């Protein structure tokens, strides 16, 4: 552990800078806009998965429609 105040101050500044970078990286990862962009880019680079995504989305929509119709009939 450094006893020199200048060394301690530099250590604090370095730690703050590292923490700021870490917080920025976390914010980038959890940003909904960035997550959507990464998803689109992934599908662009893996076109074979587009059909799977479309099928899952269609199945979800069909399920929602069926559940709503079923509730109305009761």
* CB atoms near residue 65 (< 10 Å): 10
Own/partner pairs, 63-71, CB within 8 angstroms, 24+ separation: none
The per-residue pLDDT for range 32-73, each reduced to its tens digit, is 999 999 988 998 899 888 888 899 999 999 999 999 998 888
| pLDDT band with cut points at 50, 70 and 90 for residue 10 | very high
Please write down the HEC assignment for all residues of 6-54.
HHHHHHHHHHHHHHHHHHHHHHHHHCHHHHHHHHHHHHHHCHHHHHHHH
């Amino acid at each position: 552990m450094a006893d020199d105040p200048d060394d301690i101050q530099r250590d604090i500044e370095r730690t703050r800078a590292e923490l700021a970078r870490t917080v920025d990286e976390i914010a980038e990862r959890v940003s909904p806009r960035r997550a959507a962009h990464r998803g689109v880019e992934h599908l662009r680079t893996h076109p074979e998965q587009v059909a799977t995504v479309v099928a899952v989305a269609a199945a979800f929509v069909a399920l929602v429609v069926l559940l709503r119709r079923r509730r109305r009939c009761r």
